[in-house]
Amino acid sequence: MSIYKYSPKLLFVLAMTAFSSSMWLMYTNKMILIEWELINLGSSILTLPIILDIKGCMFSSVVLFISANVLNFSKSYMKEDKFIDRFTMLVLLFVLSMNLLIYLPSLIILLLGWDGLGLVSFILVIYYQNSKSLAAGMLTAITNRIGDVMILLSIALTLNQGHWDIMNMWFNGSVSNIQIMMIMVAAMTKSAQMPFSSWLPAAMAAPTPVSALVHSSTLVTAGVFLLIRFYPFLHKLNMFNTVLLYLAMMTMTMSGLCACVEWDMKKIIALSTLSQLGLMMCSLGLNLPWFTYFHMVVHAMFKALLFICAGILISNYMHSQDLRWMGNLIKYMPMTASCVLIANLAMSGFPFLAAFYSKDTIIELSMFNSHSSIIMGLLYLSVGITSFYGVRFMYSILLNNYMGPALYSPSEPKVVTNPMLLLALPSIMSGTLLWWLLPSIDKHVIMESTLMLSPFYISLIGVFLAYIWNAYNADVEYPTLNMNANMWYLTPVSTQIPMFTYFSVSKYYLEDIDHSWLEICGGVGMHHLVSSSSNMPYGIVKYSPTSILLSSSIMTLVFVMCLI
């Protein structure tokens, strides 16, 4: 029995079950907590809790729904792969790890899902066996390992509370301050916030179905979901919101500017994911956890759709990811062109599409916070940049001239259009549905009409600038291009500088210690001394009293040191 044929159907059933459970919990206003006691240490009790609440069940249904569509799409994209069953098993392990993270509210048991995501993501990133994939996988794994260490240390610090239940943690002075900072760093490594952003575009070395899953609802959103779960505890540290807000703003600005100069299609989508993650973290920094959750859910839908569209384009354009090859998509692939348009407009916060209800409201509510004008300026700049690179992306593949082979006609088989259509519908409607369904969202924002429409005006300016940019084939100066192409030099700082430091120290030890003093004072030096002190031509041995005395003294000294 082939696993890849039946696993999408199973995931669809599980997604419908989880969504029905979330609707029932919402209707009855309940939360179910099931708990087993594993170890009783007297002062500390280790339990296995499972929590069924609105946040967990709804997000789990989104993860399972997207996974089912991704596996359906991979039937076409990975059809030439001899090990497609192994690939499917890895994806299912990835989904299982994410669901463990969602449903287990114990910090020590939650590590199963947290570590599982890191391990399986490394295996999936290096799925194509070449040096580039291995380098990307190592960068991903090592960056995520920093977060794993922070979680382990926070588990140790939680021991003084007598439990590891993340729903009932209390603030305990300086120890809790350190613990909160560790949890924040762990979430930032998983969700690729500055200065840990370089691994996210590198993870594009994975197959496109994996990218669709990783960058929509699993790995990158794990950090955001962890902060949402911990938020009542994290919020007690005064500087938590401020630090998170400033780092998120830097991430949004950096990723948007980098996406404006890229031509690699998957990398542009990855950088757009980084920008949206920055917006989610910014929302948390503005004390809006429910809007963070809202945007995380709708973002998962349109980002999975965008990646599946990218996968169809890559498979049709001879596995090229360069936007300059593609063009005139409306004529050759109208269904894919429509879905790309829907996903990009949703990402830009176009009125009444999915992300409009979350993104626009976050920007409006940010005006009520007493932060500096720099924060507001960067937030509006990021909104304009998102529209800019979204329109640039659409212009390149929809309106530019087709630059591919003359005797080649792209196609849209039914096996890939079905997942696209299933994701296009929630990319349009999920924002409206969640706006009315989620109980804790404040739907009343009272402000002047000019301020309320300002995000839309900024988006229109971004659209206009992108059209002018593409129409006149504008270019970027080399220093700016180089800086943004290297993510403000985060990539060399994260990879080459640490390697250079360790290699320099290793070279010093090798040349000055291993190949010099240790050899002179060790076996090689003694062998040279003994050999030079004896001369045996034709069986005649000439003894040098000084050499014999020196060599015997050294051997005696070595023997005494060994005895000691």
What pLDDT was estimated at residue 541?
46
Q: Is residue 440 part of a domain?
A: no
What pLDDT was estimated at residue 179?
87
Say how many domains are in the chain. 1
pLDDT in tens, the chain (564 residues): 577 778 888 889 999 999 999 999 888 888 888 888 888 776 677 788 888 988 889 999 999 999 999 988 888 888 877 888 888 888 899 899 999 999 988 888 888 888 888 888 888 888 888 888 888 888 888 888 888 888 988 888 887 777 777 777 777 777 788 888 888 899 999 888 888 888 888 888 888 888 888 888 788 888 899 999 888 888 888 888 888 888 888 888 888 888 888 888 888 888 888 989 999 998 898 888 888 998 999 999 999 999 898 888 888 877 778 887 777 778 778 888 888 889 888 888 888 888 888 888 888 888 777 667 788 888 888 888 888 888 888 888 887 777 766 666 677 777 788 888 899 998 888 888 888 887 766 666 677 777 777 777 887 887 777 777 766 665 655 566 666 666 667 776 766 666 666 667 776 666 666 666 666 666 666 666 666 655 444 444 444 555 555 556 666 666 566 555
> What is the distance between the alpha carbons of residues 410 and 369, in angstroms, rounded to a whole number?
50
> What is the distance between the alpha carbons of residues 368 and 164, in angstroms, rounded to a whole number?
35
Q: Is residue 537 part of a domain?
A: yes
Residues 6 or more apart from 118 whose CB is under 8 A from it? 141, 144, 145, 147, 148
Q: Is residue 184 part of a domain?
A: no
What pLDDT was estimated at residue 544?
53
Q: Is residue 208 part of a domain?
A: no
Single-letter amino acid code for the residue at 378: L
Within 13 Å, how many C-alpha atoms sit on residue 9's CB side?
5
> What is the distance between the alpha carbons of residues 2 and 124, in angstroms, rounded to a whole number?
20
Q: Is residue 189 part of a domain?
A: no
Q: Is residue 541 part of a domain?
A: yes
Q: Is residue 560 part of a domain?
A: yes
Q: What's the pTM value of the predicted model, to 2 decimals?
A: 0.84
**Contacts from 327-332 at CB under 8 Å and sequence distance 24+?**
327/396, 327/397, 327/398, 327/399, 327/400, 327/401, 327/402, 327/403, 328/398, 328/399, 328/400, 328/401, 328/402, 329/397, 329/398, 330/398, 330/399, 332/402, 332/409, 332/410
Q: Which range marks the domain in which residue 540 is found?
A: 532-564
Residue pointed to by tokens 């079905």 = 418
- Respond yes or no on whether the N-terminal peptide bond of residue 195 is cis (omega within 30° of 0): yes
Give the number of other CB atoms < 10 A from CB of residue 205.
Answer: 23
What pLDDT was estimated at residue 258?
85
Q: Is residue 552 part of a domain?
A: yes
Can you point out the beta strands (E) in 317-476?
none
Q: What is the DSSP string of 172-208?
A: -THHHHHHHHHHHHHHHHHTT-TTS-THHHHGGGS-H
